[in-house]
Structure 1
């Protein structure tokens, strides 16, 4: 049992300290099934069990930290940790005092274990293959439990254990034309997957029509949750970071310095309680269940890491070192999803975006490209697929006076990143209807 193994290691570390020392460690582990599909067939299937531990040693205001992969074998892992402690001790003598080192002033142990509600991965695979019969499906399924832990020499113990799945797939037509879709969550639901697959298959049929190329200009547009989440991902790049706001690197700095406001329909929060990420961060600070960031269009808060808190003499709210949202939540609107095309009337339906970057960070201006299933809509009906276009516009406009509505329904999107380890970041996002979305190419 991963939890008990972690607690046993922590108890062992308690007896390895020398006078004046303190330690803290973080565990990140998983038991994941990975299945890759191509041309509607399984091309690779495997299981990954990995345990990574980061160990920090603190003495006289100095700290040194290192990480290693554990084998899950107590004798071998303790021997490796013993060697690591020796290395860290030798480094501490040569390190300067850390002026921004902040440690919790009280022991706050927590435990959150959500029992798995997932079926066997083989059953999910059978469902996918049956749905994809006769189509060209490519994608990857990742499923299984993820573990996070924190422990320190003060006796604090935090444990987080959840089981989730993420199926990221595309139905391919030809050249650059495909329909990209994701289905993720804590419990696989056959009807929900069937509905998503049917919608993707319907869009695939439309891709067979002659594509349309539009002239650069401003168009009414609907951004599906996946596309809107790409926009919010850019906003999350320093946007709600207290450090970035104070050093004037945040794309939202004008909201604090000038009182600039977005549409009253925009409410953004870090909602840890509803997400996949743990309720504690790497230094042992506990995250609030919810941190308001934008309320009814007004900047309401920021994410403050312990180091930023120490540097500026303010309180931390348990943000991770990067001060980005790990459990992003954008409030729902009033637009029924079933009415999106009718409300769009004539314009662009955007399913995905890619290659995003800031073109003017100070004014939250972003550039990027449409991707895969993006369609031209006339009179509330999809007419044809749209060739790839580049946009360049400001979030102050798109989330400001140009926002015409957010959908009532929202989608839970789990980060598909598996580079090194499965991500625990998630986003609960509606779709957005905007006016005068600027396309430049």
Structure 2
């Protein structure tokens, strides 16, 4: 029985077991994933995980209760687990008060999206890594396989989603302990694209053997590679586009959405659901569509979950828990990759950032550290690696007045999280050339 058939069988089972005014929502999640760990460019651990689970919500007379179920893959066993869960939730519901912000989607809808691009054979991937990383101290983690998501409700909604993806996250270590971090991810494996990505990391590794350059605090021209920009965007996603945070005046992008400030006209950010790894429906049962969050530096739409919709009289648009983007896409610019160092001139080439936090959240001001391969560039040529530095700057500068150009080529960065299960979150980002970045120590 396929994953979709397994899910639809359980939906039918549950519909037949309801009584009276009971309603339900059922969200399905499954994966078949290959995991391979590398150390010194050799395979140290390999395995496969197959798992499936349900998130079951029972609703009756304004009350609701939830239960998570792990499925066994045996039809009769799983049906019995679902019946047991239904009884447990019935016993729980009578103890609960009515929820004033419960707003289930009572519309019937249908959605089916199957991305079935063939994934590379794990043996082929290992052979390519072994060949291209010969002689390097490579430490990495490769995860690949299909992800499945489903949703159904007693009101007739039915959604199915399958997306095949791979994600290879790795670091190259120099003998002095310095490292270059890199990533290659997507739907379709390309040997040439992977070779170019690894070659760039290899070239950066060579510069790490030079003495570290220590910079004085101050403002410097800088280039943020897509992985570094992702750290900035990840901070903004913590409430930046959330209807709940915007309504409660706690969003870091409050001033932007109020119309008090704007970002650079170069900045356009979408929640790009179509074609992404993320399903076109939420775990609450609301269909999702592409959203224009920022267009030409001006705030547009926001992410609205059902509870925010009920509390603030808004229209729910399929936002999940936390109302954060799960398929964020920033529009590209015109800067060619081969021109980055030339356009930077003299300044910082920053591959990664880490330990970010807000130093002034209402001002969207961030602080954090440079990480891994950060280089000092003079006259368009890398001169030396830079000692770890702390920056403190506002997004209204980094993506506003100080933003000069965005790269024409973007990088697809998939979530590397495997906590509980592989995730479907993604960021599609360019690199950013910035006229001034403030280093504090």
Deviates more, 1:101-110 or 1:136-145: 101-110
SS at match of 2:256: helix
The equivalent of 2:419 in structure 1 is: 419
Determine the C-alpha separation between the residues in 2 that align with 1:267 and 1:440. Answer: 29
The equivalent of 2:340 in structure 1 is: 340
Give the superposition deviation at 1:256: 2.5
Give the superposition deviation at 1:174: 3.6
Is residue 2:138 matched to residue 1:137?
Answer: yes
The equivalent of 1:201 in structure 2 is: 202
Determine the C-alpha separation between the residues in 1 that align with 2:42 and 2:243. Answer: 47
8 A Cα contact 2:176 2:209, kept in partner = no
Matches within 5 A, 1:287-302: 287-288=288-289, 290-302=290-302
Question: Deviation per CA, 1:120-159, whole angstroms, max 9, x where unpaired?
Answer: 1111111111111111000000000000000111222100
Question: Deviation per CA, 1:166-190, whole angstroms, max 9, x where unpaired?
Answer: 0000111145411100000001100
The equivalent of 2:320 in structure 1 is: 320
Is residue 2:343 matched to residue 1:380?
Answer: no
Gap change, CA 1:175 and 1:310, over 3 Å in 2: farther
Determine the C-alpha separation between the residues in 2 that align with 1:230 and 1:160. Answer: 28
Determine the C-alpha separation between the residues in 2 that align with 1:224 and 1:77. Answer: 47
8 A Cα contact 1:274 1:327, kept in partner = no
8 A Cα contact 2:106 2:155, kept in partner = no
Matches within 5 A, 1:1-400: 1-288=2-289, 290-400=290-400
Question: Deviation per CA, 1:15-46, whole angstroms, max 9, x where unpaired?
Answer: 11111101111111100000000011111000
Question: Deviation per CA, 1:28-65, whole angstroms, max 9, x where unpaired?
Answer: 11000000000111110000001111101000011000
Deviates more, 1:161-170 or 1:74-83: 74-83
8 A Cα contact 1:25 1:152, kept in partner = yes
8 A Cα contact 1:275 1:427, kept in partner = no
Deviates more, 1:67-76 or 1:170-179: 170-179
Give the superposition deviation at 1:258: 4.6
SS at match of 1:419: coil
Deviates more, 1:146-155 or 1:114-123: 114-123
8 A Cα contact 1:176 1:372, kept in partner = no
Count of aligned pairs between the two proteins: 440
SS at match of 1:341: helix
| RMSD of aligned Cα (Å) | 0.9
SS at match of 2:307: helix
SS at match of 1:151: strand
Question: Deviation per CA, 1:247-289, whole angstroms, max 9, x where unpaired?
Answer: 011001011235211111110110101321101001110001x
Superposition TM-score, scaled by structure 1 size:
0.98
Runs of at least 4 residues off by over 4 Å: none
Determine the C-alpha separation between the residues in 2 that align with 1:131 and 1:338. Answer: 22
Determine the C-alpha separation between the residues in 2 that align with 1:203 and 1:321. Answer: 39
The equivalent of 1:437 in structure 2 is: 437
Gap change, CA 1:176 and 1:100, over 3 Å in 2: farther
Determine the C-alpha separation between the residues in 1 that align with 2:270 and 2:137. Answer: 38
The runs of 5 or more residues in structure 2 that have no matched partner are none
Gap change, CA 1:241 and 1:372, over 3 Å in 2: same
Question: Deviation per CA, 1:309-345, whole angstroms, max 9, x where unpaired?
Answer: 1111111111112110000001111111111100000
Give the superposition deviation at 1:75: 1.1
Question: Deviation per CA, 1:293-312, whole angstroms, max 9, x where unpaired?
Answer: 11101111111111111111
Give the superposition deviation at 1:67: 0.2
SS at match of 2:45: strand
Superposition TM-score, scaled by structure 2 size:
0.98
SS at match of 1:409: coil
Determine the C-alpha separation between the residues in 2 that align with 1:246 and 1:155. Answer: 32
Question: Deviation per CA, 1:178-231, whole angstroms, max 9, x where unpaired?
Answer: 110000000110000000011111111111111111111111000000000110
Determine the C-alpha separation between the residues in 2 that align with 1:55 and 1:436. Answer: 50
8 A Cα contact 1:116 1:145, kept in partner = no
Determine the C-alpha separation between the residues in 1 that align with 2:169 and 2:296. Answer: 32
SS at match of 1:351: strand
Determine the C-alpha separation between the residues in 2 that align with 1:112 and 1:176. Answer: 45
